[in-house]
Structure 1
Amino acid sequence: MNTSSTSNTSCTSTSTSNTSFIGKEDRYNGIIVDSTSEPCKDIQQFYTKLTESLNEWNKKNKRCIWFKVNIKDSEWIPILTQNGFKFHHAKQTYLMLYKWLPSLELSNIPPYAHTMLGVGALVINEQTQQLLIVQEKYFIGQEPMWKLPGGYVEPGEDLIAAAIREVKEETNIECEFKSLITIRHTHHVMFECSDLYFVILLNINELINNNIIKCQRELLDCKWINIHDYLSLTNVSDLNKSFVQQYLLLNQLNQQQSNTTNSKSSLLLLNQTLQDHKQLQLKYQNQDVILKLNDLEDRTHLEYPLEEKAQIISGRIADIKLKANVAKTIQRNFTNILQRMKQDAIYFDSILLSLEKDARSQAKCLYRTTQLGQLATEYLDDRIHDYKRLEHAIQISMEERLKNIKLIKQDVKDTTKSEPLELDLDV
């Protein structure tokens, strides 16, 4: 009886596997079917197995059904779409389709990878303070733009490795990672994906002969250029200029922080050395720095035996050596302090020079403004004087007109010798 039951179960399983897809369960109570693992001999068999499988998966309350269709089984795709399957993503050799089965539950299928990663390499030659820039062979617009070397990150590749690889491929320059400068995040770029662009600071490897060899396939030109000269070029995008300006700003902040740290360390070293020097002075202030052996022998000749005198003299010699070492230590410390103070003096001199230049610029601006104000005042005074002269001339002209009108009235009266006429002559 057990044998018969086992035989029936085996037949049922075989029958089911022949009429429906087995697939592989995922951790979300879904099924993944791979066309290479469960092929069909013809399209009719596929249609039959799909129909039976969907009925069975609905009864078992499965959630999402995935079909990974190999390119050689692409004839499956129209039938799957007719049965409610949607495209999820595609690779070079397969297409992934899915169908959400629960009717009372919203689909929570995540979209396929929607962000692309790119790197831009800001390559600096620290000895010459020059920047490595390239012009791409294929471009949009009237002229090619000068930009940073870089490109997209390959699958499974680290960001730093991608930046170093892009520079090597485009220019043959060997680089080493130094730091991350900035990140740019934008949307709806290639394939309507979002885009993350990492700008990475690289230094050239000085142990290797770094001669530029242009990539003929991708580049039109590449060269080294002074950083500030690059910012003054016209055929450079605002985005690339902002990357370089961000580097200059970070570099300036790092230098200021380094100078501040050096100044603080110099002050700490000075205070510590002065404290040590004070302690040494207190310790040895009642002893001679240099003791002559003859004086020691005179003082110990009558007081101590020969062995004790030798021990005393040895102790004094050791004491003298200790003092000499202490003096050398103090000298080294003060030498270090003087060097630090010289560096600080140079740094503060540069600051004072910058402030002096700024003051001169402001003074020139103020002087020029004063000149312009004086010229404007003189011009205004001239115009006022002209208007006054014009006003005086008009007034004299009006008086002449009044006199002429009076004479005309008198002539009219004399001519008519009759009743005077009423003339309305307005001035």
Structure 2
Amino acid sequence: MGQNGVEDEVRKFRVLPACDDEHGGVIVDMKEPMGPTVFQAMLKASLSQWKLEGKKGAWIKLPIELANLVEIAVKEGFWYHHAEPRYLMLAYWIPETKIAIPANATHQVRIGAIVMNDKRELLVVQEKVGKFQGTGIWKIPTGILEEGEDIFAGATREVKEETGIHTEFVDVIAFRYKLLVKYD
């Protein structure tokens, strides 16, 4: 394809096809083959567009067959997040703030905090982001521990972040283990 053909392709597509994620970012699930020049131009246009839209993070799910595009994405600021047998996941933090994309891990520790006051009233919240956002469902405060964080500190931090209430950790009520979390 000549230079004019490449420019026509860039103008035709402009930005990479992406869907919104539940945390204010976008996910690009690359499925179709694409030349490096077109990919680079579309990636630059996409990053500009996502910044204008106020997106927080960008993910590119790149099948192994398109691994030739990794170097281009890395030069634009993406980094390896994780790899599975059939794809690489690249990540990019858009705002000029502390990166809030968690490191990939084989395990996540999630907590749910049961908070009661002296009147034995239970503290419940409604999600501002996530799958229960806007559903009217009430739930206990929940979250994910940060890497290396103590469970006691993580539970009180999550309650404070979600409600603004200072709490005192008393006891662990239960543990649950879930195997084989998939990103597909």
TM-score, normalised on structure 1? 0.22
Q: Is the 8 A contact 2:36 2:72 kept in 1?
A: no
Q: Does 1:109 align with 2:101?
A: yes
Distance in 1, matches of 2:69 and 2:50, equals 19
Distance in 2, matches of 1:89 and 1:66, equals 11
Q: Which amino acid counterpart does residue 34 of structure 1 have in structure 2?
A: D
| Residue of structure 1 equivalent to 2:72 | 79
Distance in 2, matches of 1:16 and 1:63, equals 25
**How many corresponding residue pairs?**
101
Q: Which amino acid counterpart does residue 109 of structure 1 have in structure 2?
A: I
5+ residue gaps, structure 1? 1-14, 117-186, 188-427
Per-residue displacement from partner, 1:146-176 (whole Å, max 9, x unpaired)? xxxxxxxxxxxxxxxxxxxxxxxxxxxxxxx
Q: Is the 8 A contact 2:93 2:99 kept in 1?
A: yes
Q: Is the 8 A contact 2:62 2:88 kept in 1?
A: yes
Q: Which amino acid counterpart does residue 111 of structure 1 have in structure 2?
A: A
Once the two structures are TM-superposed, the CA of residue 41 in structure 1 deviates from its matched residue by 3.4
| Residue of structure 1 equivalent to 2:87 | 94
Q: Is the 8 A contact 1:68 1:95 kept in 2?
A: yes
Once the two structures are TM-superposed, the CA of residue 113 in structure 1 deviates from its matched residue by 2.4
Q: Does 1:28 align with 2:23?
A: yes
Q: Is the 8 A contact 1:40 1:46 kept in 2?
A: no
Once the two structures are TM-superposed, the CA of residue 61 in structure 1 deviates from its matched residue by 1.1
SS of the aligned residue for 1:78 comes to helix
Distance 1:53 1:114, change over 3 A: same
5+ residue gaps, structure 2? 1-9, 109-147, 149-184
Once the two structures are TM-superposed, the CA of residue 43 in structure 1 deviates from its matched residue by 1.3
- Over the matched positions of the two proteins, sequence identity in percent amounts to 29
Give the CA RMSD over aligned residues.
2.4
Q: Between Structure 1 and Structure 2, which shows a larger proportion of helix residues?
A: 1
Instruction: Point out 4+ residue stretches in structure 1 off by more than 2 angstroms.
Output: 113-116
Q: Which amino acid counterpart does residue 43 of structure 2 have in structure 1?
A: L
Distance in 1, matches of 2:25 and 2:51, equals 11
Distance in 2, matches of 1:112 and 1:43, equals 27
Distance 1:29 1:112, change over 3 A: same
Once the two structures are TM-superposed, the CA of residue 115 in structure 1 deviates from its matched residue by 4.0
Q: Which amino acid counterpart does residue 51 of structure 2 have in structure 1?
A: N
Q: Does 1:52 align with 2:74?
A: no
SS of the aligned residue for 1:67 comes to strand
The structure showing larger relative contact order (alpha-carbon pairs under 8 Å, at least 6 residues apart) is: 2
| Residue of structure 2 equivalent to 1:403 | none
Distance 1:113 1:52, change over 3 A: same
Q: Is the 8 A contact 1:31 1:64 kept in 2?
A: yes
